[in-house]
DNA sequence: CGTGGTGTCAAACAGGTGTTTGAAAAGAAG
DNA sequence: CTTCTTTTCAAACACCTGTTTGACACCACG
């Protein structure tokens, strides 16, 4: 039921009431219990119904082909467009955002079915950009740094709107936003790769390395971490 | 009431029931209406009660003093520590996270009282790092990219835990996490600054700069720096 | 002792929740 | 048409929500 997806999307599973759903859908309250076995069954059906997104993502990412940086740019673009999409075709993204904050049993299947494959693609691209000198845990953190920038505008939109009332997210703004996120991320990954390479070169030579590396290394040490 | 803050923090305003709060607190259901005038009054009192955090943040940021990159690192560290803090002293952060997803009237005062001053500090640091060639809107986006990486681990923790079951967030992990976020961000901001400078230099020389050209120029710069 | 104010409590209230029920309607098969 | 299954519907059910109520205990003060 489309209206059920809509209501679940912007009210959350707990706050949504089947009476509201049925009133909007023009049907009876008892019908959902008859066809789905209850509110939970309806929700499960809604969650499982949205499955045309991963293929779209995979398609665009596969089409963009070769260069890792282009794949990352495509990832940010597609991911952001889906997450910020308006209208009825965005309910799946909104439900997923809801699930992240108020997890139900549906989150597990959502993670395994949608999020994990995308994380895999992102991880490959990030790994290529930073090079072989980063281990799996480091790459994992960097992937989350990239993905975080996208979901931020989904999860913190109320705060952003209050903080910058003139900040609008029309389709043009989404484009420059995607470019900003992708540019920042690519620059960060490249910079980290360069820094790691320089640090390794310095270690091999036994010298103290370039100015840039020395600064961040000194900072790490002088920090006196507790 | 501390237990009220606790319950509000991990149940949300709507799902939390005053009966549950009062049962845990060992008091009567009517007392909250007597003292606070209702559930909303209790919540307002709880939200306003947590006000010792901004000063701590401001103190550490002021103490770290001069270099913009150090201030950014301090920002990430303090922000992340607060956001991921466990125990009773973290309820304010958790409530703020809740407010971002399910905004109530309390969000406005939360934004003006806590978030805006921190955003101001972050904006200053980011502006210094990227240099004068970025306008307010660009810097704003970059600030959100930095902050996004921190709040990500708050908002998407359920997803992260399901995606990487071995990913633990003890205090040691938080330290390396902060270092990863800060390092990635600083590298990104530095890279963007270098790219912008190179693009401007190219434009002054009369060469036409499309996005592709700019990107390759960034690449040249990033490689040339080491 | 009495008195008024203050805080606490169990009970009740009015409204909303998901679910169940039993009857009525619609449709398919003989 | 009859019979059977499938679907729809209004009403009721049991439970939970925030709030109100009126009685009861406490306590300083006169």
Q: A162, B15: Cβ pair inside 8 Å? A: no
Give A108's Cβ-side CA count (13 Å radius). Answer: 3
CATH 1.10.10.60 assigned to domain B2-49? The reply is yes
Assigned token pair, B106: 């309390």
CA B89 / C1′ D6 distance in Å: 57
The helix, strand and coil proportions of chain B, stated in percent and rounded to the nearest 5, come to: 80, 0, 20
pLDDT truncated to tens, each residue of chain A (226 aa)? 788 888 998 888 888 999 999 999 889 999 999 999 999 999 999 888 766 555 566 666 666 667 899 999 999 998 888 888 776 667 787 888 788 877 888 888 888 888 898 899 899 999 999 999 999 999 999 999 999 999 999 888 889 999 999 998 888 999 999 999 999 999 999 999 999 998 888 877 765 444 444 444 444 444 444 3
Tens-place pLDDT, residues A26-53: 899 999 999 999 999 999 998 887 665 5
CA B30 / C1′ C7 distance in Å: 11
Distance CA B16, CA B98 (A): 12
CA A91 / C1′ C18 distance in Å: 23
Assigned token pair, A23: 């009133």
Q: Please list every residue in chain B whose beta carbon sits closer than 8 Å to the beta carbon of residue A101.
A: 97-98, 101, 155, 158
Q: B164, A116: Cβ pair inside 8 Å? A: no
Confidence check: pLDDT of B135 > 70: yes
| pLDDT score of B60 | 62
Min distance B80 CA to chain A CA atoms (Å): 13
The CATH classification number of A53-186 equals 1.10.357.10
Distance CA B71, CA B54 (A): 15
How is B93-114 classified by DSSP, letter by letter?
HHHHHHHHHS--THHHHHIIII
Confidence check: pLDDT of B212 > 60: no
Banded model confidence at residue B223, pLDDT cuts 50, 70, 90: very low
Give chain B's end-to-end CA distance (angstroms, integer).
56
Q: To 10 degrees, what angle do helices A2-15 and A18-25 make?
A: 160
Q: Which fold has domain B53-224?
A: Tetracycline Repressor; domain 2 (1.10.357)
Closest residue by Cα to residue A75 from A63, A90, A86, A87: A63
- The residues, ordered by sequence, that sit 6+ positions from B8 with a Cβ below 8 Å of its Cβ are B16, B43, B46, B91, B95, B98
Q: Which helix (H) or strand (E) holds B122?
A: helix B116-130
Closest residue by Cα to residue A73 from A153, A166, A149, A8: A149
Distance CA B219, CA A190 (A): 8
Tens-place pLDDT, residues B82-117: 888 776 667 777 888 788 877 888 888 888 888 898
Q: Where in chain A are the domains?
A: 2-49, 53-186
Chain D footprint bases within 7 A of protein beta carbons: 7-12, 16-22
Nearest chain B residue to A178 by CA distance is B141
Residue from B145, B154, B171, B176 whose CB has the most chain A CBs within 10 Å, to mutate: B145
Q: For residue A191, say whether its CB is under 7 Å from any atom of strand C.
A: no
Distance CA B152, CA A141 (A): 11
The pairs formed by A137-141 with CB atoms below 8 angstroms and a separation of 24 or more are A138/B180, A140/B164, A140/B167, A141/B176, A141/B177, A141/B180, A141/B181
Reduced to 3 states (helix: H, G, I; strand: E, B; else coil), residue B133 is: coil
Cβ-count burial of A226 within 10 angstroms (0-12 exposed, 13-18 middle, 19+ buried)? Answer: exposed
Closest residue by Cα to residue B15 from A42, A16, A93, A3: A16
Nearest chain B residue to A117 by CA distance is B163
Nearest to A162 among B111, B158, B186 (CB): B111
Closest residue by Cα to residue A143 from A188, A194, A100, A98: A188
Min distance A144 CA to chain B CA atoms (Å): 7
Q: For residue B27, say whether its CB is under 7 Å from any atom of strand C.
A: yes
Length of chain A: 226
Give B206's Cβ-side CA count (13 Å radius). Answer: 0
Nearest to B192 among A149, A176, A183 (CB): A183
């Amino acid at each position: 039921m489309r209206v059920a997806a809509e209501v679940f999307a912007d009210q959350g599973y707990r706050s949504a009431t089947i009476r509201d759903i049925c009133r909007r859908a023009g049907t009876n309250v008892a019908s959902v219990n008859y066809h789905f076995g209850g509110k939970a069954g309806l929700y499960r059906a809604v969650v499982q119904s949205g499955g045309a997104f991963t293929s779209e993502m995979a398609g665009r990412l596969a089409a963009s082909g070769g260069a890792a940086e282009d794949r990352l740019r495509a990832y940010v673009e597609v991911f952001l467009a889906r997450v910020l999409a308006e209208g009825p075709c965005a309910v799946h993204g909104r439900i997923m955002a809801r699930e992240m904050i108020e997890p139900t049993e549906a989150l597990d299947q959502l993670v395994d079915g949608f999020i994990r494959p995308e994380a895999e693609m992102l991880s490959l691209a990030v790994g290529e950009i930073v090079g072989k000198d980063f281990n799996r845990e480091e790459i994992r953190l960097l992937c989350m740094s990239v993905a975080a920038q996208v979901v931020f505008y989904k999860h913190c939109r109320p705060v952003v709107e209050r903080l910058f009332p003139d900040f609008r997210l029309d389709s043009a703004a989404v484009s420059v936003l995607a470019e900003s996120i992708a540019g920042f991320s690519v620059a960060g990954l490249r910079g980290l790769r360069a820094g790691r390479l320089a640090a390794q070169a310095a270690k091999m030579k036994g010298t103290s390395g370039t100015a840039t590396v020395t600064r961040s290394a000194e900072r790490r040490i002088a920090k006196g971490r507790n």
